[in-house]
Amino acid sequence: MTEEHTAERWLGRSVKRKEDDRFLQGRGNYVDDINLPGMLYMSVLRSPVAHARINSIDTSAAEALPGVVAVVTGELLAQHNLAWMPTLSGDTQAVLATDKVRMQGQEVACVVAEDPYVAHDALELIEVDYDPLPVVITPQQSLEPGAPVIRDDKEDKQDNRVYHWEAGDKEATDRAFEQADRVVSFDTFYPRCHPAPMETCGCVADVNPVTGKITIYMTSQAPHAHRTVFALVTGLPEHQIQIISPDLGGGFGNKVPVYPGYVVATAASLLIGRPVKWIEDRTGNLISTGFARDFYMNGELALNNDGKMLGLRVKMLSDQGYAYADAQPSKLRAGLFHIVTGSYDIPAAHVVTDGAYTNKAPGGVAYRCSFRVTEASFFIERLVQTAAYELGVDPVELRRKNFIQPEQFPYTSATGFVYDSGDYERALDKALEMLGYEDLKAEQAKARDEGKLLGIGVATFTEVVGAGPSKDYDILGLKMFDSAELRVHPTGKAILKIGVQTQGQGHETTFAQIVANELGIPPSDILVQHGDTDNTPYGLGTYASRSTPTAGAATAMVSRKLRDKARELAAHLLEVAPEDLEWAGDRFQVRGAPDRQTTIQEAAFAAYTNHPQGMEAGLEGVTYYDPPNMTYPFGAYAVAVEVDRGTGQWKVKRMVAVDDCGVRINPMIVEGQIMGGLTEGFAMAAMELITFDELGNCIGSNFSDYLIPTSWETPKFELGETTTPSPHHPIGAKGVGESATVGSPAAFVNAVVDALAHAGVRELQMPIGPDKVWQALVEAGLAE
Amino acid sequence: MKVSVVVNGQERSAEVEARLLLVHFLREKLRLTGTHVGCDTTSCGACTVLLDGTPVKSCTMFAVQADGREVTTVEGLAAAGTLSPIQEGFKEEHGLQCGFCTPGMLLASKALLEENPDPSEEEIRWALSGNLCRCTGYQNIVNAVQWTARKLQSDSATTGAS
**Is A242 annotated as catalytic?**
no
* Residue A2 pLDDT exceeds 60: no
Write down the mean pLDDT value for chain A. 97
Q: Does B89 lie in the same domain as B63?
A: no
Bridge partners (DSSP) listed for residue A128: A57
Per-residue pLDDT tens over the stretch A289-309: 999 999 999 999 999 999 999
Residue A72 confidence (pLDDT): 98
Q: What is the dihedral of CA B91, B94, B95, B97, to 10 degrees?
A: 100
Question: CATH 3.30.365.10 residue ranges in chain A?
Answer: 20-26+482-625, 370-465+630-772
- Number of other residues whose CB lies within 10 A of the CB of residue A585: 16
Point out the domain boundary residue: B51, B76, B101. B76
The number of distinct structural domains making up chain B is 2
Residues B89 and B50 occupy one common structural domain: no
A512-567 pLDDT per residue, tens = 999 999 999 999 999 999 999 999 999 999 999 999 999 999 999 999 999 999 99
Do B135 and B152 belong together in one domain? yes
What digits encode the pLDDT tens for the residues A218-232?
A: 999 999 999 998 898
A68-120 residue pLDDT tens? 999 999 999 999 999 999 999 999 999 999 999 999 999 999 999 999 999 99
Distance CA A706, CA A690 (A): 7
Mean pLDDT within A377-389: 98
Residue B161 scores a pLDDT above 80 = no
Query: What pLDDT was estimated at residue A404?
Result: 98
Are A23 and B96 within 8 A, CB to CB?
A: yes
First to last CA, chain A: 75
CA distances to A187, A325, A482, A735 from A466, in Å: 30, 21, 10, 7
> Domain check: are B116 and B67 in the same one?
no
- What's the average model confidence in pLDDT over A390-405? 98
Ramachandran quadrant class, A250 (left: phi over 0; alpha: psi -120 to 50; beta: rest) = left
* A124 is an active site residue: no
CB contact under 8 A, B91 and A17: yes
B116 lies in the same domain as B136: yes
Task: List pLDDT tens digits, range A597-614.
Answer: 999 999 999 999 999 999
pLDDT at position A1 is 44
Picking from A18, A20, A670 by the largest number of B CB atoms within 10 A of its own CB, the best residue to mutate is: A20
Sign of CA dihedral A389, A391, A397, A401: negative
pLDDT at A56: 98
At residue B158, the pLDDT reads 84
Domain boundary among B25, B43, B76: B76
Instruction: Provide the number of CB pairs (under 8 Å) joining chain A to chain B.
Output: 177
CATH topology of domain A34-133+200-248+255-288: Aldehyde Oxidoreductase; domain 3 (3.90.1170)
Is A114 among the catalytic positions?
A: no
Confidence class for position A4, pLDDT limits 50, 70, 90 = low
Q: Which residues of A touch B128 (CB under 8 A)?
A: 710-711
Residues B72 and B90 in one domain: no
Q: Which residue range is the domain that position B27 belongs to?
A: 2-76
For CATH 3.90.1170.50, the residue range(s) in chain A are: 34-133+200-248+255-288
pLDDT tens sequence across A32-50:
999 999 999 999 999 999 9
CA distance A285 to A290: 8
* Those residues with Cβ within 8 angstroms of residue A655's Cβ, 6 or more apart along the chain or in another chain: A637, A638, A639, A640, A678, A682, A715, A716, A717, A718, A744, A747
* Whether residue B24 is found in the same domain as residue B55: yes
Quick: pLDDT tens for A644-668: 999 999 999 999 999 999 999 999 9
Domain CATH code at residue B156: 1.10.150.120
d(CA A354, CA A320): 10
pLDDT, tens digit, 9 for 90 and up, residues A737-781: 999 999 999 999 999 999 999 999 999 999 999 999 999 999 999
Q: Are A685 and A650 in contact (CB under 8 A)?
A: no
B100, B112, B142: which to substitute to probe chain A, counting the most A Cβ within 10 Å?
B100
- With 0-12 CB in 10 A as exposed, 13-18 as middle and 19+ as buried, what is A228? buried
Q: In sequence order, which residues have a C-beta less than 8 Å from that of residue B154 and are 6 or more positions away?
A: none
Question: What does DSSP assign to residue A550?
Answer: I
CATH T-level assignment (fold) for domain A20-26+482-625: Aldehyde Oxidoreductase; domain 4 (3.30.365)
**B118 and B146 part of one domain:** yes
Look up the CATH number of domain A370-465+630-772: 3.30.365.10
ipTM of the complex: 0.98
Nearest CA to CA, how far is B45 from chain A (Å)?
10
Model pLDDT, residue A377: 98
Q: Is B21's pLDDT higher than 80? A: yes
Determine the average pLDDT of the residues in B68-91: 97
CATH code, domain with B34: 3.10.20.30
Q: Which pLDDT belongs to residue A328?
A: 84
A203 is catalytic: no
Report the DSSP pairing between strands A691-692 and A478-479. unpaired
Please identify, among B10, B41, B76, the residue that sits at the C-terminal boundary of a domain. B76
Tell me which of A104, A221, A503, A597 is the catalytic residue: A221
B72 and B89, same domain (yes or no): no
Inter-chain residue contact A504 with B101, CB threshold 8 Å: no
